Each structure stands twice: as C-alpha cells, then as structure tokens.
C-alpha cells in the first residue's frame, strides 16, 4: 500500500465521522507491518470530553482484531490543511510501535513525519 493509497483510505474513512459539534471531520488509515489496514473517524458526544479521535478509533479496531505492530498511519481532516494526531493519540500510537504519520500537504501530497520526531523521549512499554 503506497502513501497515496493510505491517504485515500483515510479520506474515505472521514465520511464516517460523527462530528455535529465541532464540524471538524477527521479520517485515519492505519497499516500494520504485515499489510493489514484499519480505518477510523472521529466520533463526538454531547458530553464533549467523551469524543473519540479518528486515530484512536483505528488503533482500537486494529488491536481488538488481533493486530500488533503498526507501521504507519495517514490522517486527513475536513479542514483541508495538514492535520496531525493530538498528543493523546501520539502516545497511543507509540504504544503499538507505530513508526510514522503521513499527512496530506499541498494538493494532497503525502508527507511522512517520524513518530520519534512527533513524540520525542516517549514513555512506552520499554520504559517499564
Ligand atoms: N480530532 C481527531 O479525531 N484527531 C486528532 O488527532 C485531533 C482531533 C477530532 C476530535 C474532535 O472530534 C475534532 O477533531 C475537533 O477537535
């Protein structure tokens, strides 16, 4: 799966967002090291703090399907701007070994950001 394919899957997943409060729709497409794909979209709640981010929806779908060892995740949003995972999602992505985040830059061009740059000095399974 190319990074362009992964961004296209994230865009498709974004159509499943439930974001009536922020109207900010997010889609994520996560690929495992053995090539399995899991997607997610944000799911908001009238009790705002219960909102689920797209990235964590994709992670939870993958982990509960038995996938371990994620390679990279593509993230897109309805803003049309580059959209990066929030801090909480970075931590959860780190837990499962995610190596990189792909975002859509100018005209949808995929740009790779390494997790080591997005979450330096991360606390994770090896820290315990
Ligand atoms: N959101 C995500 O889905 N992922 C992120 O990494 C950042 C924020 C969602 C949560 C909320 O539904 C909306 O974007 C605005 O914060």
Residue boundaries of the structural domains of the chain: 3-121
- Judged against a pLDDT cut of 90, whether residue 102 lies above it is answered with yes
As to burial, measured by CB atoms within 10 angstroms (0-12 exposed, 13-18 middle, 19+ buried), residue 27 is buried
- pLDDT tens-digit series, residues 44-87: 999 999 999 999 999 999 999 999 899 999 999 999 899 999 99
Residue 81: which of 39, 41, 24, 42 has the closest Cα? 24
Mean pLDDT computed over every residue of the chain = 97
pLDDT score for 68: 82
Q: Which fold has domain 3-121?
A: Cytidine Deaminase; domain 2 (3.40.140)
Helices (H), 1-128: 3-14, 54-64, 87-95, 115-118
Query: Ligand 1, atom 4: nearest CA belongs to which residue?
Result: 53
CB of 89 closer than 6 A to ligand 1?
yes
pLDDT score for 64: 98
pLDDT score for 107: 86
The pairing of strands 70-77 and 110-114 is: unpaired
- Judged against a pLDDT cut of 90, whether residue 117 lies above it is answered with yes
DSSP 8-state class, residue 31:
E
């Amino acid at each position: 799966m190319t990074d362009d394919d992964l961004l296209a899957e994230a865009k498709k997943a974004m159509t499943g967002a439930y974001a009536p409060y922020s109207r900010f729709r997010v889609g994520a497409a996560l690929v495992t090291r053995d090539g399995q794909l899991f997607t997610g979209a944000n799911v908001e709640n009238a009790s705002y703090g219960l909102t689920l981010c797209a990235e964590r929806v994709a992670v939870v779908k993958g982990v509960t399907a038995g996938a371990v060892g994620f390679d990279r995740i593509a993230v897109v949003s309805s803003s049309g701007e580059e959209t990066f995972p929030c801090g909480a999602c970075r931590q959860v992505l780190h837990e499962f070994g995610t190596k990189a985040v792909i975002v859509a830059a100018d005209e949808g061009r995929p740009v790779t950001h390494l997790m080591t740059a997005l979450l330096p000095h991360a606390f994770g399974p090896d820290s315990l």
